[in-house]
Chains A and B, each alone.
Chain A
Amino acid sequence: MDDFEYVRPGSVGEAVALLAEKPGRARAMAGGTDLLVQLKVGRRTLDRVVDVKGIAELNEIHVGSDGGITIGAAVPCHRVYDHPAIVAGFPGIVDSASIVGGIAIQGRATLGGNLCNGAPSGDSIPSLAVVGAVAVIAGPSGRREFPVSEFCTGPGQTVLGADELLVAIRLPAPPPRSFGHYLRFIPRNEMDIAVAGAGAWVALDEAGVVTAARVVLASVAPTPIEVPDAATAIIGTRGEATALEAASEAAKAAARPITDMRGTQAQRRHLSGVLTKRALAGAIARARGEHVPGAHEAHRVHASATH
């Protein structure tokens, strides 16, 4: 690992200036659980690491009067899944935040870092995208907002400029009877990168019919990908088996996976379908008021039942 300068600014303006000074040779660091690993193994070299955890605004979780929530870019996962308003309104995001790494990683890792790292396998990106999350970005010329669903442009690539900083992720107020669910497939029960993942979100009318839906897949294309056909297949139904099957087929058709050490093309395509079906069923059940355990909760229950 090469030497680099470590700085810890106290404001967004200072951080942006520190990034802008060394275009492409400086990067923001939140939890560092991606960045430090990349530096250590030599996948990336930098002259300057800008630690953003000292910026007050980036450490806040703000619940708006309309029920929307703004999560600062340096807020670690454990604060996300322990936050009552997020747990109540955005269980899909809780699903994701509670499976990133293990307990130690969750004490550091952030949703912002997960998003800015731009990995196709990032577990929080589908969950954020399906609820219409927006990235709040600061740069030398001010602030802009950008939808999370279009934030990633390729493996490790995002719309962020070299001199831009992610300030927060803004979750719009959820419509009534709307919930998300995220499921990923990993061969082990913890500490793995998704072979495939699916985030689903639905809104129901009072009669229990799906009026809106979104599905975003992880790990089956160069970026997280949205599957509008899966949403179309489930909208107007009550989540009957045939509708779930149709959504599953749409996901399989949309997947553009590769074969690597984590899984094969065929396996990932197949899993896109299975996970879409299961994530949609879970989201619908949640929207109906049923308790659907997150992946994390589920395997803990499973593990203790067998002990």
Chain B
Amino acid sequence: MTTTADRPATSSPTRVISINDGANIIVSHGDYAVIGTRPVRHDGVDKVTGRAVYGGDTRLNGLLFGKVLRSPHVHARIVSIDTSKARAVPGVHAIVTNADLPTAEDREVNLGEGGGNLKYMSDNVLASDLVLYKGHAIAAVAAINVHVAEAACALIEVEYEVLPAVHEIKAAIAEGAPLVHPSLTTKSLGKDTGVHSNITNHARLQIGDPDAAFARADVIAEGEFTTTMVHQGYIEPTNATAMWYADGKVTIWTSTQGSFAARDSTAQILGLPVSRVKAVPQEIGGGFGGKINVYLEPVAALLSRASGRPVKLIMTRAEVFQATGPAPGSYSKVKFGATKDGRLVAASAEIYMESGAYPGSDTGAAMRCLYSPYKIDDMRVDGYDVLTNRPKTAPYRAPGAPQAAFASEQVIDDLARKLGMDPVEFRLLNAAHEGTRLVNGPLHKKVGGIEVLEQTKAHAHYQSDLGTPSPGTKRGRGVAIGYWFNIGLPSSVAISVNADGSVTLVEGSTDIGGSRASIAMQAAEILGVRAEDVRPSVVDTDSIGYTGVTGGSRTTYATGLAAIEAARHVIAQMTARVAKVWSVSPDEVSHDHGAFRAGTRSMSFKDAAGHLDETGGPITGTASLDPQGHGGAFATVTCDVEIDVETGKTQVLKWTIVQDAGKAIHPSYVEGQFQGASAQGIGWALSEEYFMNSKGEMTNTSLLDYRLPTAFDVPMINTVIVEVPNPGHPFGVRGVGEASIVPPMAAVANAIRDAIGVRMHALPMNPGAILHALGTI
């Protein structure tokens, strides 16, 4: 059935590293000395011995502790705030409210990556006139300890006028729904419609004429799907410490995905020039997109200004759930049409994504990724951003794409079933490749979708049978593919050479997933030294050039490029010094695998470093760049489930994730990304949700009841690293942090469909939902 005629030949060199049941099979050669090896991470010892300093560990002389008073209501007008009783509590040093913030303008500000409306950013940090969700910050207290601060918070008197609220997308877009922002009107296809509604924006991407193309389809499949709000689930709670010095300069210590983003947002909200704010990134215990926005930093700064002392704020888990940005819930309708020989000919979709309390959701990215795995000539997707009285949503790994794939990949599965085709074969037959047009206009660059699907098909897991189910259970297998485009953004690196032949590497990228190692390794490869000879440091915003957030799967790619450039800059200078030692022209000296050569002479990097003093002093290589050559990545998940049909409980038995890394710099951390995203995907699929009561209040605000998967809920995750090099990076790096969370929910849904014959239309697919779908309850 499958024809390969219109597919480009599998690109070479493709490297496949497969980890199956613990066995580590490296299929192809290694061309590098450092890249592709697995050295111990530079920050590893500190982390396993508890020495690493995370945000919450920040200690300063005279430190005060803060607590934030939060709205008990989902939607209300603040009539008055009286802090007098709280101020009288012994041990209280300062109390701040929105009145302490500069009046924020209703305008868009650029924050390097995306941007935001300053009034909304400011109001989200401390509410001005309205509280728009339960947990919305209203005031904050700094005191000698957190218990005094908490007691004082309880004495702040706030008078509210409670307003009607909307809790979820369908209610928010219904006729006559209460409005979250009554003054806002819907923008549609770039024009202001003048209509007041909770839909802030409607966008459309279209290629060709899908309506006409559907008429040519022999088989059509469609469906409606919803997903609920979920949290990134990082373990370290959101925190910030700030000191407002007497000279008007502000320093913030925080665990953040982007020290420059934290600095810039804090400065904007406080109405300060960026030069007056310094952000010192602390170690970060997970972020996944949720530690880009600032919540506590400006508040800690205001409390410090008012008290003259440094102030630390740490959220409780309940605050993290209620007052930081979770991933949006979604509602989508998706339709695909194919010819009877299995060619996709038409696609259309509508995606509604919740933005929470303020405008701006992940809809655009969802629209861009939805059809990306496929070659379809006629396709359209409409996207809608919807306001609800819930926390303002924030990015979560491949923001928007997983929700879209949950819908589209189930419809694709249905279409393959209707056609009687193998689901991987069907996807291969229609797979996008270099030159395939994307729904947002451009053509795919070199991508590894076909290679990833071929590895999925050939994998022992896909070739195996399902085995015998335990009594009272049914088994099924599901497959799905996902895409994430990855991003570039600016990065800066400086490398200095030490006399002993080691180098220090200073970078602005905060290290969430092993990036110190993967960036140091790229520098080491160019310099010709060992990974251990590089000493990487993540430094504050006064100590390195501007660097974008650790997000968008960009860091190994973009900061890696900066490290490569900085290393080349070092080598150029070192070459000149070696030429001096040998009294030859620099043109005669070459550098290769750690050795400088001229004719028969050779000198190691280490020996050359020993000559710096006498040849002109220290050497530092630097690079600041804004690369544009990032490459998108595909990932597939194959999973087997077993369902207890009497209780509706799903156990994931087997899981294989195949992803194109472009080039795995440190394969362990690539596998770690695949496995981490898979575990998060299993939770998102089966058990995680913001459970709301009838008043729209989240009730499961602890990790006991917000059900992240436990070790017993996640099987061994087999990983297969496919390497289709990204031409935009000398080693071929693509990002690996996000594509892997796109397919899991759809793969689990497809496996459930295979096991029990019912199509799941909503997340989470928890036991109650399965019993409902089966008609048991």
Residue numbers of A with Cβ under 8 A of B are 1-3, 41, 185, 187-193, 195, 260-264, 266-267, 269-271, 274, 299-300, 302-303, 306-307
Contact = CB atoms under 8 A, between A and B. Distances in A.
Contacts of B691: 261
B109 to A, nearest CB: 37
B139 to A, nearest CB: 18
Contacts of B705: 193, 261-262
In this complex, the member of B646, B654, B699, B709 whose beta carbon has the largest number of chain A beta carbons within 10 angstroms is B646
Contact of B712 (A2, A190, A261, A266): A190
Contacts of B716: 306-307
A300 B711 CA distance: 11
8 contacts: A185-B647, A189-B651, A190-B710, A191-B710, A261-B705, A266-B777, A270-B777, A306-B716
Interface of B: 147, 150-151, 318, 470, 646-649, 651, 653-654, 686-687, 691, 699-700, 704-705, 707, 709-713, 715-716, 766-768, 771, 776-777
B767 A261 contact: no
A189 B647 contact: no
Nearest to B692: A261
Contacts of A188: 687, 707, 709-710, 712-713
A269 B768 CA distance: 12
Nearest to B649: A187
Give the top 9 A-B pairs by smallest Cβ distance, nearest first: A189-B712, A266-B777, A261-B691, A267-B768, A261-B700, A261-B699, A307-B716, A306-B653, A190-B710
In this complex, the member of A3, A193, A195, A303 whose beta carbon has the largest number of chain B beta carbons within 10 angstroms is A303
Given A187-B707, A306-B653, 6 more contacts: A187-B767, A189-B651, A261-B705, A270-B771, A303-B712, A306-B651
Contacts of A300: 712
Contact of B768 (A3, A264, A302): A264
Contact of A189 (B150, B648, B710): B710
A302 B776 CA distance: 25
B681 to A, nearest CB: 15
A65 B711 CA distance: 42
Contact of B686 (A187, A190, A195): A187
B151 A187 contact: no
Contacts of A189: 651, 710, 712-713
Contacts of B777: 264, 266-267, 269-270
B616 to A, nearest CB: 59
Nearest to A263: B768
Nearest to B650: A187
Nearest to A191: B710
Given A185-B767, A267-B771, A299 B712 contact: yes
A261 B687 CA distance: 11
A41 B646 CA distance: 36
A22 to B, nearest CB: 20
Nearest to B687: A187
Contacts of B147: 1-3
B151 A260 contact: no
Contact of B766 (A41, A187, A271, A303): A187
Contacts of A307: 715-716
Given A2-B147, A260-B699, A192 B704 contact: yes
Nearest to B654: A306
Contacts of B709: 188
Contacts of A302: 470, 651
Nearest to A273: B646
Contacts of B648: 267
A260 to B, nearest CB: 7
Contact of A271 (B150, B647, B687, B699): B647
Contacts of B704: 191-193
B250 to A, nearest CB: 31
B700 to A, nearest CB: 5
Contacts of B712: 188-190, 299-300, 303
A282 to B, nearest CB: 13
Contacts of B646: 274
A41 B654 CA distance: 38
Contacts of A271: 647
Contacts of A299: 712
A261 B693 CA distance: 8
A242 B709 CA distance: 37
A129 to B, nearest CB: 23
A189 B150 CA distance: 36
A260 B691 CA distance: 9
B649 to A, nearest CB: 7
Contacts of A269: 777
B390 to A, nearest CB: 16
Nearest to A298: B470
Contacts of B151: 2
In this complex, the member of B647, B710, B716 whose beta carbon has the largest number of chain A beta carbons within 10 angstroms is B647
A4 to B, nearest CB: 11
Contacts of B647: 185, 271, 274
Contacts of B711: 190, 303
A260 B651 CA distance: 23
A303 B651 CA distance: 9
A72 B642 CA distance: 41
A274 B691 CA distance: 25
A28 B507 CA distance: 53
A52 B570 CA distance: 67
Nearest to B716: A307
A154 to B, nearest CB: 20
A267 B767 contact: yes
A293 to B, nearest CB: 12
Contact of B715 (A3, A195, A264, A306): A306
A303 B470 CA distance: 13
Nearest to B648: A267
Contacts of A267: 648, 767-768, 771, 777
B60 to A, nearest CB: 24
A3 B712 CA distance: 38
A271 B716 CA distance: 29
A242 B556 CA distance: 63
A130 B184 CA distance: 61
Contacts of A3: 147
A30 to B, nearest CB: 19
Contacts of A264: 768, 777
Nearest to A274: B646
A150 B367 CA distance: 59
A127 to B, nearest CB: 20
Contacts of B715: 303, 306-307
Nearest to B705: A261
B698 to A, nearest CB: 9
Contacts of A270: 771, 776-777
A41 B707 CA distance: 19
B369 to A, nearest CB: 29
A307 to B, nearest CB: 5
A243 B704 CA distance: 36
B22 to A, nearest CB: 9
A271 B151 CA distance: 43
Nearest to A192: B707
Nearest to B652: A306
Nearest to B764: A187
Contacts of B766: 187
A107 B27 CA distance: 47
A261 B646 CA distance: 21
Nearest to A260: B699
B713 to A, nearest CB: 5
A306 B468 CA distance: 12
A164 to B, nearest CB: 29
A192 B649 CA distance: 14
A200 B691 CA distance: 32
A299 B713 CA distance: 10
B691 to A, nearest CB: 4
Contacts of B713: 188-189
In this complex, the member of A2, A299, A307 whose beta carbon has the largest number of chain B beta carbons within 10 angstroms is A307
Contacts of A41: 318
